[in-house]
Amino acid sequence: MNTLTKIESATPLPISVDDILAARVRISGSVVHTPTLVSQTLSAMFGCKVYLKFENLQFTAAYKERGALNRLLQLDEKAKKKGIIAASAGNHAQGLAYHGKRLGVPVTIVMPTTTPTVKVTQTQGHGATVVQYGEKFDDAYAHARKLEVEQGLTFVHPFDEPDIMAGQGTVALEMLEDAPEIDTLIIPIGGGGLFSGVATAAKAMKPDIKIYGVQAELYPSMYDYIKGANLPCDGDTLAEGIAVKQPGELTRRFVERLADDVLLVSERHLEEAVSLLLQIEKTVVEGAGAAGLAALLTHGQEFAGRKVGLILTGGNIDTRLLANVLLRDLARSGRLARLRIILQDRPGALFHVARIFDQEAVNILELSHQRIFTNLPAKGLSLDVECETRDGAHLERLIAALRAVGYEVAPIEVA
């Protein structure tokens, strides 16, 4: 394992466990004490005991409302009356909007234009004014700081703010009180607010606990900073909630001091993790919320035999996107396939192909012929067949049966 170099410093970190304990008292009764449960199936899959903290069961379906509420409760009267502004990809926004409305504090949220529709509509539904600006969080952030000055609002940072970190740290208090045997935590990192709070609380409660951060490969900003790397931060990630190009000035100090390592995960493993959690745990989790499980898929050997705590940080995923993720997972497993079959363009050609599908008990979902836009001879025909099989072995038998009678067959792969 590539262990991080620990930075020894007498300089205290921006928050301590006392701040987190105070935050718990402050927000108690207004956020859900979510369950921490062992997943027997995931434990068997990865050879370690897997604990899941279901923060997707919060009212706003994300842990972010912990920090948001802790910050709102400490505003002065002038700020409460004038209102607050924030930049957010969604979950921080919903936490502020929901609790702001409950406390009578006007809330304005600046969101990237790429924010999933479900997060925009839910934030508006909680009574916030939503301004969409820029494609990435950093664009929205810059615009929010501009509006802060122009309108005299109080800016609430989504991660680089001690009150926010302290609120997020209450996740660890609950987790380690409910499952004190946990010896390893894997924490998603975007800007680093969750990591900062959770790692601070966890190290205070259990000094020998191992703590790992995890980021999407497309947005390795904290990884780059900690490891002195220069990987690019860009792209369309499923984990938009942790798609942050610049880590926090404060939060990076916690990662330097408290992380055993920062891991990267691929988009494919993020998709697989979302699908696994729905299939196995029957729980809906967004891409960022599944990053911890994606780390087990990518780096499972590092955690063999350990008691690993994962935080399902949020469940706000667009339904169309979720459907795509699930269908792509079916395709990768061979249960859903698209085959390109080359045949002669003559009467009965389709019948003979369909008969083989029938003989192999494969369900045809969709057919598409191509006679014109192809490099085949004029009497040739390209046939795309979308079909449903029992598993990968069943699909291979179908392909073998088609080839056995002379058809040229090529599966169309999913990335």
Residue 381: strand pairing partners:
343
Contact partners, residue 334, CB within 8 Å, separation at least 6: 389, 391, 392, 393, 394, 395, 396
Coil, helix or strand at residue 126: coil
Contact partners, residue 385, CB within 8 Å, separation at least 6: 338, 339, 341, 353, 357, 364, 366, 367, 368
Contact 239, 291 (CB under 8 A): yes
pLDDT at 10: 54
Residue-level length of the chain: 415
Encoded tokens for 392: 């990968």
Q: What is the DSSP string of 19-73?
A: HHHHHHHHHTTTS----EEEEHHHHHHHTSEEEEE-GGGSTTSBTHHHHHHHHHT
DSSP letter assigned to residue 306: S
CA dihedral 110, 268, 304, 263 (to 10 degrees): -50
pLDDT at 9: 52
Q: What is the DSSP string of 4-18?
A: PPP---SSPPS--HH
d(CA 291, CA 384): 35
Contact 274, 323 (CB under 8 A): no
Find, among 203, 183, 194, 201, the residue nearest to 222 by Cα: 194
pLDDT at 19: 98
pLDDT at 127: 92
Find, among 50, 71, 13, 82, the residue nearest to 311 by Cα: 50
What distances in angstroms separate CA 190 from CA 201, 229, 233, 322, one per listed residue?
A: 19, 17, 12, 21
- What are the structural domains, with CATH classification, of the chain? 17-63+162-328 (3.40.50.1100), 66-155 (3.40.50.1100), 334-411 (3.30.70.260)
Q: What sign for the dihedral angle of Cα 70, 74, 79, 82?
A: positive
Query: Please, is 197 exposed, middle or buried when counting C-beta atoms within 10 Å of its C-beta (0-12, 13-18, 19+)?
Result: buried
Task: Tell how far CA 313 is from the center of its chain.
Answer: 8
Q: What is the pLDDT along the chain (415 residues), one digit of tens a residue?
A: 334 434 445 589 999 999 999 999 999 999 999 999 999 999 999 999 999 999 999 999 999 999 999 999 999 999 999 999 999 877 999 999 999 999 999 999 999 898 878 778 888 999 999 999 998 777 888 999 999 999 999 999 999 999 999 999 999 999 999 999 999 999 999 999 999 999 999 999 999 999 999 999 999 999 999 999 999 999 999 998 898 888 999 999 999 999 999 999 999 999 999 999 999 999 999 999 999 999 999 999 999 999 999 999 999 998 999 999 999 999 998 899 999 999 888 888 899 999 999 999 999 999 988 776 777 776 678 889 999 999 999 999 999 999 999 999 999 887 6
d(CA 218, CA 268): 12
pLDDT at 392: 92
d(CA 206, CA 199): 10
